[in-house]
Amino acid sequence: MFGTQETAREDWADRVSQLFVMLACSIALLGPEYELNGQAAAWIAAGDTELVGLRYAPSLTLLWKSESDWRLESEISVVASTQGWFDSLSEYDDQADCKLYRGWLRWSDLHSEIRAGLQKINFGPARILRSLRWFDQTDVRDPLEATPGVWALLVRHYFINNAGIWLWGLSGNDDPKGLEIVATKKNTLEGGGRCQFSLWSGELGVSYHQRRVDLGDWPGPRQPFVSSEGIEERYALDGTWDIGPGIWFEAFTGRTRTGANNDFWQNLVTCGTDYTFTIGAGVQVTLEHLYGATGSDFDHQHNSINNTVVSATTSVSLLDNLTVLGGWSWPEQERTLFLNWQRLYDRWEINTGLFSGPGNGNGDSQALYQGDGCQLMILYHY
């Protein structure tokens, strides 16, 4: 449905200018409430490669309220960052970037909302090993909780019985999103939807997404394909319940039709649970396991993934929180360890972390949390 509809992709500058014109007209007509806030961060990491960085992200939020139940909101956020890495004093490199981080306009009432622009879209109950990480790249170890947005139109409606329907359409997102192997084919629409409803003491969700992919960017030995493009369809089921401990699952299967018999199937399943033990101020323990496989048939797959993660979080004092995370990859027999001490003030946040795990294997020394090392990150919120 969505993969066959093509649209001319607007330049980034055109999108931003149109958004600002729309906001300016709205301000002139309605006179909104506004809030200016932001975040500044500085970090240094030491390990196989030393890394230093600065990041500043101001955000302007506008709100228009009507005499009835509807409201109009908008957010514009820009990120300016610089990062440098070096193996020695004689081998140093850096990069700097300034880009639009969020830019959306939303209309909402008591039960519905319509949001258009550069935004974050995520869903699913999993915390760490997320099979439904379709549109974001959030890392639970990152104190910034930063993730690129997607250009999208999102419509959501919630019924009185807590059931909900989501519909979305995306365009102009050139880079792979979430867990995608290749990016969406340029100048095409992609889209899907989600339905969630109450079941027993929890909630069940069903999701679907379709897009066109450019097979010329496909990694690995599966090239060449019969066609230069393929149709990818994703189907997902997820649920979460509170039965004392919390339990949840996410199950996703995706099929990329590449022409002839060269279909590509991908299956991912996450199961998880958490429980808060009454030790001291309370220790919240989360356990998740991810299984995945790929292949040319749904029932004949290989390249399996089996990862297990356990994390524990506790408050050491009124200002201090401690998080410990450990992971194990069963096929590769590789472990991942992460420890973070966080101190919170009214506006300041200090994070000290230790991490250990496999490297990325591609020489990308810019990546955090890969290999063995430590990190200090200081954040200021206003």
Domain segments of the chain as ranges? 12-381
Q: Is the pLDDT of residue 361 over 50?
A: no
Q: What is the mean pLDDT of residues 325-340?
A: 95
The pLDDT of residue 320 is: 98
Q: Place 66 in a pLDDT band, splitting at 50, 70 and 90.
A: confident
pLDDT tens for each residue of 177-198 = 999 988 999 999 999 999 999 9
Mean pLDDT for the stretch of residues 66-85: 91
Q: Evaluate if residue 140 carries a pLDDT over 80.
A: yes
End-to-end Cα separation, the chain, in angstroms: 44
In the chain, what's the furthest Cα-to-Cα distance? 64
**Could you tell me what percent of the chain has a pLDDT over 70?**
85
The answer regarding whether domain 12-381 maps to CATH 2.40.160.100 reads yes
DSSP 216: G
Q: What is the pLDDT of residues 87-126, one digit of tens each?
A: 665 666 788 999 999 999 999 999 999 999 999 999 999 9
Say whether pLDDT at 367 is over 80.
no
- Arithmetic mean of pLDDT, 153-164: 96
**Is pLDDT at 30 greater than 80 in this prediction?**
no
Q: Is residue 78 predicted with pLDDT exceeding 80?
A: yes
pLDDT digits 0-9 by tens, 263-321: 889 999 999 999 999 999 999 999 999 999 988 777 767 778 999 999 999 999 999 99
Distances (CA, A) of 34 to 31, 111, 161, 298: 9, 23, 33, 51
Predicted confidence band of residue 157 (pLDDT cuts 50, 70, 90): very high
